[in-house]
Amino acid sequence: MAKKNQTLGEFIIENQEAFQYSSGELSRLINSIRLAAKVVNHEVNKAGLVDILGAAGETNIQGEDQQKLDVYANEKFIQTLTNREIVCGIASEENDDFITICGQKEDHNNKYVVLMDPLDGSSNIDVNVSVGTIFSVYRRVTPLGTPVTIDDFLQPGSEQVAAGYIVYGTSTMLVYTTGHGVNGFTLNPAIGTYYLSHPDMKFPEDGNIYSINEGNYAHFPQGVKDYIKYCQTEEDNRPYTSRYIGSLVSDIHRNMIKGGIYIYPKSSKSSNGKLRLLYECNPMAFIVEQAGGKASDGHQRIMDLKPTELHQRVPFFCGSKNMVEKAEEFMKKK
């Protein structure tokens, strides 16, 4: 049972025994993400000093080339995962193709693949709005000892063995699941330790927050327009409150704590919406479902979708179970 204020390290060791992880590799994988998140957090928190430290593409006062933060984050997560001999392949929002990791013995014997958005919402950094890292973990489906193939990455979300996000906000939190509920850890930056601050997180079945970019209203399908009007109608516990940060991790994190729905639908401008199935929607769906919420494309469960491309986009309805189901009713009508 998760104990508040337990450190992430203690939690991982305790749950490794409780959840009979095979050889502790998944624990080591989560540990490597924990380390990379601390390094990225330090850099993200300095972003406000860009005028002093130099913007991306320039050299800073130490004469070092300043990298765009999402490139920096991507490199840190790849480096940390590669050095730990745990994964055999990585797919990232920042890389067109997946990366094969053959391991120190060059034997392709590691059994996990990781898909990630290393710094989602990075355009918010310039205006000091919170951003996030999202990751998704699968067991490979091709034989050990052979290089990973695209099939190892194009698995339905229901096959995930772990998923999580780091939100670099007023405090930095790591929230993740290995299929046994959702737990949130807050970083104490002074000592670089994560503490269990949100044990056994539950998504409220109902809520009164709706998160969608209403600037695209004219381009939405009629069902989405009708649902937005439903949210705004003076009736029962409505109108709901509109809250949209423009950072997926932050919007869903807030809604998981307070109750609410996040929608990024298809539109006449983008036929499948904007969000990526493999490293944004599937991991967030795994976490949300594990906390008792729901995630669909407006019609079917996100984690049942069979991926066809690494960077494919899907419409995304995610959050409080009853709110997602109500939105799906409107989508059915039209």
**Residue 108 contacts ligand P6P per CB under 6 A:** no
- Pick between residue 88 and residue 174 the one whose CB is nearest to ligand P6P: 174
Please state, in angstroms and rounded to a whole number, the distance separating the CA atoms of residues 132 and 33: 13
As measured in angstroms, the least distance from the Cβ of 285 to ligand P6P is 14
The residue behind tokens 């391991």 is 103
Sheet of 261-264, strands arranged across: 241-242, 209-211, 261-264, 316-319, 294-296
DSSP secondary structure letters along 213-247: -GGGGGGS-HHHHHHHHHHHSSBTTBSPEE---S-
Place of tokens 């009629």: 222
Residue 213 near ligand P6P by CB under 6 A: yes
294 is a site residue for ligand P6P (CB under 6 A): no
Query: Total residues contacting ligand P6P (rule CB under 6 A)?
Result: 8
Cβ-based nearer residue to ligand P6P, 137 or 284: 284
Closer to ligand P6P by Cβ: residue 107 or 214: 214
120 binding ligand P6P? (CB under 6 A): yes
Comparing CB distances to ligand P6P, the nearer of 121 and 319 is: 121
Task: Compute the least distance from the CB of residue 181 to ligand P6P, in Å.
Answer: 25
CA distance linking residue 155 with residue 136, whole number of Å? 11
Q: Smallest gap, in angstroms, from Cβ of residue 240 to ligand P6P?
A: 18
What kind and span of H or E run contains 131? strand 131-139
| Closest to 160 measured CA to CA, from 328, 284, 300, 24 | 284
How far apart are CB 242 and ligand P6P at their closest, in Å?
13
**Contact set for ligand P6P, span 227-286 (CB under 6 A):** 246-248, 251, 274
CA Rg value for the chain: 20
Query: Crossing angle of helices 8-18/25-45, nearest 10°?
Result: 160
Q: Does 94 bind ligand P6P (CB under 6 A)?
A: no
Residue 199 found at the interface with ligand P6P (CB under 6 A): no
Q: What is the DSSP letter of 114?
A: E
How far is the C-alpha of 68 from the C-alpha of 236, rounded, in Å?
47
Q: How far is the CB of 255 from ligand P6P (least distance, A)?
A: 12
Side chain identity, residue 191: I
- Which is closer to ligand P6P, CB of 87 or CB of 275? 275
3-class DSSP assignment, residue 27: helix
Residue 297 CB coordination number (10 Å): 23
Q: Give whichever of 95 and 213 is closer to ligand P6P, judged by the CB atom.
A: 213
Q: Would you say 123 is a known binding-site residue? A: yes
Which residues line the annotated binding site for substrate? 120-123, 213, 244, 274
Q: What are the residues binding ligand P6P (CB under 6 A)?
A: 120-121, 213, 246-248, 251, 274
Which residues line the annotated binding site? 93, 117, 119-123, 213, 244, 274, 280
Which residues line the annotated binding site for Mg(2+)? 93, 117, 119-120, 280
